[in-house]
Amino acid sequence: MALVERFKHLTVAGVLAHRATEAPSAPFLVHKGAVLTYGEADDQAEALAASLSNLGVGPGDRLAVLLPAWPEFAVTTFAAAKLGATIVPLNPRQTAADLRYMLRHSGASCAVSGEHVYGIDFLQIFEDLLVDLPELQYLVTVGDEDLWYDDRIFQWEDLISAGRGRAFQGTDQAPDDPFAILYTSGTSGKPKGVELSHRNLIHAAAATAEAVSLGPDDRVVGVTALFHVFGLGPGLLGTAIGGGRLLLQDEFGAARTLELIESERATVHFGVPTLFATELAELRNRDVDLGSIRVCLSAGAPMPDGLARAVEERFGAPLVIAYSLTEAASTVAVATPSDPVSKRHFTVGRPVPST
């Protein structure tokens, strides 16, 4: 059965539960050589949800996430789904003023953040935000510092440990219930929050995974940041829907992506035109085994035909183009590897089902 049809009645929590039941020991998230299986990811999400529920976080609450593409980002996403909460993914590199605005605008009651990320001291930032934003009640920090926290700030590992000892009954959610608020920069004014349902994100993710025939043997690399709609949807959820493994990167750069392709034998390469262009430039100066890649997918900006042809020649795999936007939960149209070059390079393929 096609992926879109198989997963259309599930919520985000249901996607992970399905994979954790079907193949609990299958690798899901790979980060700096460490592997988290589907079963382990589901267990951690359940434990985090239990601890957050004990604090009073529940259905309808907004849960902000300010993390790089770490496993904790993914686990928090699925924990929010189990709680019936709405996730608010935010770019940790944005200004403190924009962060304050989005937290206030979204009404986030809890945030999950790194302690120090990209040279930014988020502990100091949130000390002020917890005073200024009355709706923001709790902060969960991810990091190695052993600090004393007050009764509003908790460490990630502590909540995971405590949650494993608590009984937790997940909240019943329907596919059309809200699940995420993603902010777009727009062309003027303040960032705009786009509310998306479980069905919105799962449909676009499943359609993208189906277009490239993503399956359990696949290793996906080059995904944009998880706070971006393509990273959250086709990247994280699409990989889970297909049952593959997602190769996470703290920083995005050509050299690191190429190293991951070679060391982890990546098979599916998502990216944007600028990433592919910088990879080709990097490949002029080094020899990298790209033989594991079977398909490349580009989105986010127009892909010139010359660049598309160069990518196919160097990677030895077909390149397909997708058209996506935040308001549509990412993919609206996408080509397939079996399409002729005239369609793969000069169109964005076919509209996804039910568009």
> In the chain, what is the straight-line distance between the N-terminal and C-terminal CA atoms, in Å?
20
Instruction: State the pLDDT at residue 167.
Output: 84
Q: Are 153 and 115 in contact (CB under 8 A)?
A: no
Neighbours of 101 (CB within 10 A): 15
Q: Tell me 115's DSSP state.
A: S
Q: What is the pTM of this model?
A: 0.95
- What the block records as the tokens of 181 is 């608020």
Neighbours of 231 (CB within 10 A): 22
List of domains in the chain? 38-192 (3.40.50.980), 198-351 (3.40.50.980)
Q: What is the pLDDT along the chain (355 residues), one digit of tens a residue?
A: 499 999 999 999 999 999 999 999 999 999 999 999 999 999 999 999 999 999 999 999 999 999 999 999 999 999 999 999 999 999 999 888 899 999 999 999 999 999 988 888 998 889 888 889 999 999 999 987 666 567 889 999 999 999 998 888 888 899 999 999 999 976 677 889 999 999 999 999 999 999 999 999 999 998 779 999 999 999 999 999 999 999 999 888 899 999 999 999 999 999 999 999 999 999 999 999 999 999 999 999 999 999 999 999 999 999 999 999 999 999 999 999 999 999 999 999 999 987 6
Give the helix/strand (H/E) hosting 41: helix 38-55
Instruction: State the pLDDT at residue 146.
Output: 63
Which one, of 79, 155, 75, 80, lies nearest residue 123 by Cα?
155
- What the block records as the tokens of 80 is 């929010």
Neighbours of 158 (CB within 10 A): 13
Q: Name the residue with tokens 């080709």.
A: 280
Q: Are 326 and 304 in contact (CB under 8 A)?
A: no
Question: Which are the contacts of 284, defined by CB distance < 8 A and separation ≥ 6?
Answer: none
Instruction: State the pLDDT at residue 123.
Output: 86
Instruction: State the pLDDT at residue 105.
Output: 96
Instruction: State the pLDDT at residue 155.
Output: 93
